Structure 1
């Protein structure tokens, strides 16, 4: 009886600590949302209020509808930038999956000349910062006429090394006997990949899709470099431009942060179980 009570107390303490940590983690997110609904200047008081005395949607109206803030004309419209980011992220995710999933499977289960050397080169490439390649990549895209285009934003991230190795790690757990049996039955490599490999890699594929989407959605530096036309700005670039011009306007900045974060939450929350199972499935072999 005493053992059961001790276990119950431990469970209550553990759950209480988890609930406390969750609340602490959510406080900045909740405060970001509440500040975004405060009237202009309300959050500048000390100590800053956590809850608005008067709810106001003027920050979202000025951010999403008006093109004039505090009498200053600006052309960093958020709604078109939101559409640009969504289009780029979806295309980058789909094309990235089409390239990295077969590549990761090939490195795990197919034998071809130079596989191990290529794999070592990929692993070595992980230690090279992406910023190192931005200048030569920009000069190359300038020669190809891809500057100030969505293609120029999308192409550099299509065959990410991390994505290939991520899929490879999960594909290593697929039994070779299953693939060999399919080959003995006369199935082609394309049929094996489509009918056997893809269903087994479904959790890791969803996880990778989330990684690719979030990476493209949150990318700021490369779109800032490659895009020159404000009508083609992605959401982080447009929000960054607004923040630079209105850095003292905390409520407007928080509204911009909510607009940037909300689509990510709407996508991540329904798919989080696939995300977690994909991470667990790709963490071990066998």
Structure 2
């Protein structure tokens, strides 16, 4: 190996250690009590308090309800969001209709708006609809995501028009072309979009905090925030809940990592 190769390998390995170290510490901290977590010198080996932390988290703080709510909301938003964004991306990429450029420009412009700008209008809409503290309040505003439409439009442009025309000549309707021809070849992009939508919904904190009113409706981020007391905080339970909140995202990414990388490159190279 050349000196440059040795340097690059060492640099990458060091970077990997720096990135993984906080997660390793999080796993170790879930097995200790609050006093042990803040002890000096710090504990670098697993302790024996994991099951106590886990029991307190689920029995005293109803963290199971939060996980259920987050799974239902994130999974539903992801499935419906992928369908809506892919359908919109297909329309913008493959159909020529009046105002297409203007509408797509408005969608791109909306990506520049901070989420805080739409927080009050969304809250007023949910109050008027009577959806506060419910699943629809969390799911519906996150279905037509501007970034998702943009990503799918760019990916759909890579689908050959000849393939679509051949399917139409064979008698396939537009719905069949979309579901049986376009979507199968868009799996990498769909996987990438699914990860983005799931992660965004799973980690969302400010909006759920605004529209949720009772502890049994909390999502995971809101439930974790509620574990921080005014005078004292059980950091053993807090870090255990944080660890549990990371696991579903890791599983999803590991399951879709190949498609995720391929999806990010979709549409980056023109034929």
Deviations 1:97-132 (A, max 9, x none): 121111011111111111111011111111111211
Residues 192, 259 of structure 2: 8 Å contact kept: yes
Deviation (angstroms), 1:248: 4.2
Partner of 1:285: 270
Rounded to whole Å, the distance in 2 between the matches of 1:270 and 1:80 is 25
Partner of 2:35: 41
Q: Secondary structure at the match of 2:34?
A: coil
Is 1:265 equivalent to 2:250 in the alignment?
A: yes
**Correspondent of 2:23 among 22, 29, 32:** 29
Is 1:120 equivalent to 2:105 in the alignment?
A: yes
**Correspondent of 1:241 among 211, 226, 239:** 226
Q: Where does the alignment leave 5 or more consecutive residues of structure 2 unmatched? A: none
TM-score by length of 1: 0.88
Residues 204, 282 of structure 1: 8 Å contact kept: no
Deviation (angstroms), 1:40: 3.2
Rounded to whole Å, the distance in 2 between the matches of 1:268 and 1:138 is 32
Partner of 2:91: 106
**Correspondent of 1:163 among 148, 156, 159:** 148
Q: Secondary structure at the match of 2:96?
A: coil
Deviation (angstroms), 1:45: 2.3
Q: Where does the alignment leave 5 or more consecutive residues of structure 1 unmatched? A: 68-75
Greater Rg over alpha carbons, structure: 1
How many residues get paired?
Answer: 270
Moved over 6 A (4+): none
Partner of 2:238: 253
Superposition CA RMSD, Å:
1.8
Deviations 1:34-87 (A, max 9, x none): 0111133012123433324x432222221123x1xxxxxxxx410111111101
Partner of 1:226: 211
Partner of 2:185: 200
Deviation (angstroms), 1:246: 6.9
Deviations 1:157-205 (A, max 9, x none): 1101010001001111112222223333333222221222111111100
Partner of 2:48: 55
Rounded to whole Å, the distance in 2 between the matches of 1:13 and 1:98 is 45
